Amino acid sequence: MTESSNNAMEETRVSSEERVTQLRDLIDTLRIAEEIAGKGYLISSSELADLMDINASAVTSRGDHWSWRNWVVSRVRREGNQILWQLEKVD
């Protein structure tokens, strides 16, 4: 095999491994969301942003009630300077 075909095979294997890693990370994220919703935990805007992998300001700009994947996200209350959110699983 030539060096370029070896490099192409290596890139394909790496990108495949990266995709699998990304899928595992996604499954972990969904499991965390499932647990948060199932146990009725309230989470802050920054925690929700971390879960969704977006900027915290993007969370608050979406309004008080919106959908994310298999969940409805609702603004529940404010505690001091934090907004608390609840996830509810949609079947």
pTM for this model (two decimals)? 0.78
In the chain, how long is the greatest CA-to-CA distance? 64
Dump pLDDT digits (tens) for 19-50: 999 999 999 999 999 999 999 999 999 999 99
Which of 71, 49, 72 shows the shortest CA–CA distance to 60?
49
**Cβ neighbour number for residue 33 with a 10 Å cutoff:** 21
Q: Are 61 and 83 in contact (CB under 8 A)?
A: no
Helix (H) or strand (E) holding 12: helix 3-38
Q: How far apart are CA 19 and CA 21, in angstroms?
A: 5
Domain borders along the chain are 3-89
